[in-house]
Amino acid sequence: MQSGGLDEEQAFEEAIISMGDLSGLVNDMRKLGEEMGARPEAPSTLTAYFSTGGIVAGVLLVLFGLFVSLMLFFMEMGVLEVVACGIYIVFGAILLTYSILTRETAKRYAMNQIRAALYALSVGLVLFGFYAATVSYFATGEIFIFTASLMWFFLGGVGLGLLLLLTEPGNRKKS
């Protein structure tokens, strides 16, 4: 265009105008992809193995926490020692939540990893709130310390969970 007597800025503007609006093409390509069942993130076999491993490890951590707590209870240890094993349950639930959400099934696409991590954080905050509050209560015997310990983690976890649930995009596969 510069050879046509336009300066560099005018030539650039003419080139942009001559390309036209590409948003229609983008929308058409997106619709075509949805009709063909395409997803931007196709899970790999490795991702499926990690998801399966995470589910197994999460369940084992939860069970380990339950069994150790039960064992300490019957050994007549203090309540604080029994409750302290709950941290395994918290971490197991976090891992389990993330692994289940990032797993693709026959009816549902895998969730975005960042969104799944935020859901896992939400679950972890709620459970850690109960864990910290229970340990604090049995360490001090004060109910206001239980409430203060629970409040921040619980409210943060519930708030994050509600935000995620209310902004959830659909991830069901078309039949």
For residue 36, the number of C-alpha atoms closer than 13 Å in the C-beta half-sphere is 9
Supply the pLDDT for residue 57: 93
Q: How many CB atoms lie within 10 A of CB 96?
A: 21
Paired tokens of 64: 């380990």
| Assigned domain for 9 exists | no
Rounded distance, CA 169 to CA 157, Å? Answer: 20
| Assigned domain for 172 exists | no
| Assigned domain for 31 exists | no
Domain total in the chain: 1
| Assigned domain for 20 exists | no
Residue (of 157, 48, 52) closest to 95 by Cα position: 52
Supply the pLDDT for residue 69: 86
| Assigned domain for 11 exists | no
Supply the pLDDT for residue 114: 92
Supply the pLDDT for residue 19: 63
The domain in which residue 119 lies consists of 45-166
Per-residue pLDDT in tens (0 to 9) along the chain, 175 residues: 455 667 777 776 776 666 666 666 556 666 665 555 555 555 567 778 888 899 999 999 999 999 988 888 888 877 777 787 889 999 999 999 999 999 888 788 888 889 999 999 999 999 999 999 988 888 888 999 999 989 999 999 999 999 999 998 877 777 6
Supply the pLDDT for residue 75: 85
CB 124 within 8 A of CB 90: yes
| Assigned domain for 65 exists | yes
| Assigned domain for 14 exists | no
| Assigned domain for 10 exists | no
CB 60 within 8 A of CB 86: no
Q: Write down the residue that tokens 């931007």 correspond to.
A: 40
Supply the pLDDT for residue 168: 86
List all residues 6 or more positions away from 73 whose beta carbon is below 8 Å from its beta carbon: 82
CB 119 within 8 A of CB 97: yes
